[in-house]
Amino acid sequence: MGATDHDTGGTEVLYEHAPCGLLVTDDDGLLLRANDTFCGWVGVEGGALVGRRRFQDLLTVGGRIFHQTQWMPLLRMQGSVTEIKLDVTREGAGPLPMVMNAIRRERDGAVVHEIALFIATDRHAYERELLAARKRAEELATQQRAAREFAEQMMAIVSHDLRTPLGTIRTGGEVLRMLDLPERYRPLLGNIDRATDRALALINDLLDLTRSRLGQGMAITRQPIDLHDTVAAQVAELSQAYPEARIEHFRQGDGHCEADPVRLGQLVGNLVSNAVAYGRPGAPVVVSTSIDAECTISVHNEGEPIPEALQGSLFQPMVRGTVVGAATRSVGLGLYIVDEVARAHGGAARLAPATRGRGHRRDVHQVRRISLGKWGCVRLECHPVGYRPSRM
């Protein structure tokens, strides 16, 4: 055998037993040649394919539609296609997933298509697993979202409906106060009032949380106020609510600004209540208000610094302090409401750096609007001693 014959024989063997299916078709798809590798994959002898079958006839229904509408027009337009995913039918077995590359050429005045096919069983299985995993993740996310929305809606409904019986309790306490009751019953009326106020405050916090989670945000009503007087009134109420605590208020500068006095009172109340609950017994809780370059409210108490690893979650909902021996426990919404009030006024909450022997301060920067259009900032600060956040 000559060198030329030896080369031709080697090329033929390589073609027939290449690690991919090799086809040649005319412009209509009629098979002009098919190597042994492809014939073995589909389970049909070459004599039953060449000159007898069209390539598109070997495809599934979806593959034939894709051939007519997508890749054949594209092949004729640009001369080649790559990485086309197809399912090729087999004798006595299910369709075989393949990836196809094709080139359009002219030979002796006739158009032919040279096609290379690669088995894509593993790729097909991977894609199916990926799609199934994506579908499961989407279903799980939908279920979690529905469960969260249901819980939040139920929270809103229950919180709203609790207002009526609490209002009845408050009214009953006021009626009893007007009666000439023995003195020994007077403290009981005070306990009823405080318990009712606490329950109403909790309901308001839950409603605020629900509105925030449902994307409605916290509603505020801006109006011209004196910041010093607003905070002073809240401090006076807190001093009555916590007679054992020493709450001091200092003011500096002009107090005129535009804000929601009710929300500011709620904000200061949450911070002071937090300071009283977690602060060192006997140490003063200092509330300061000042307006210079920025408008500032600070609430500060003495305490140990909060570990840096725990500081990032202080203003998240359902995070609360856990203090050994604490007499009261909360649902962990106080500081979250503080941050939401600040955001509603255009600001955000943060934890101020600790100072030696005095612990942290909580800062809330809040946009301030003066009647002349000048904008400033409100800062609120507080730190509870021994605070350790824990999620419910």
How confident is the model over 259-277, as a mean pLDDT? 85
Res. 57 pLDDT band, cuts 50 70 90: very high
Res. 201 pLDDT band, cuts 50 70 90: confident
- pLDDT value, residue 215: 63
Higher pLDDT, 32 or 10: 32
How confident is the model over 338-362, as a mean pLDDT? 66
Res. 3 pLDDT band, cuts 50 70 90: very low
Q: Residue 150: is it exposed, middle or buried by C-beta count within 10 angstroms (0-12/13-18/19+)?
A: exposed
- Segment 13-42, tens digit of pLDDT: 889 999 999 999 999 999 999 999 999 999
Res. 330 pLDDT band, cuts 50 70 90: low
Closest by Cα among 201, 383, 374, 192 to 292: 374
The mean pLDDT value of the chain amounts to 77
Cα separation values, 222 from 231, 368, 372, Å: 16, 10, 15
Res. 65 pLDDT band, cuts 50 70 90: very high
Res. 390 pLDDT band, cuts 50 70 90: very low
> 121-178 vs 186-213: helix axis angle to the nearest 10?
150
Res. 325 pLDDT band, cuts 50 70 90: very low
CATH numbers and ranges of domains, the chain: 3-119 (3.30.450.20), 142-213 (1.10.287), 223-391 (3.30.565.10)
Higher pLDDT, 21 or 210: 21
Reply yes or no on whether the pLDDT at 182 is more than 80.
Answer: yes
Which residues, 6 or more positions from 93, have their beta carbon under 8 angstroms from its beta carbon?
Answer: 43
- pLDDT value, residue 23: 95
Q: What is the DSSP string of 195-214?
A: HHHHHHHHHHHHHHHHHHHT
Closest by Cα among 202, 221, 222, 205 to 213: 205
- pLDDT value, residue 378: 39
Q: Does the pTM exceed 0.75?
A: no
Higher pLDDT, 180 or 135: 135
CA dihedral 278, 280, 284, 288 (to 10 degrees): -40
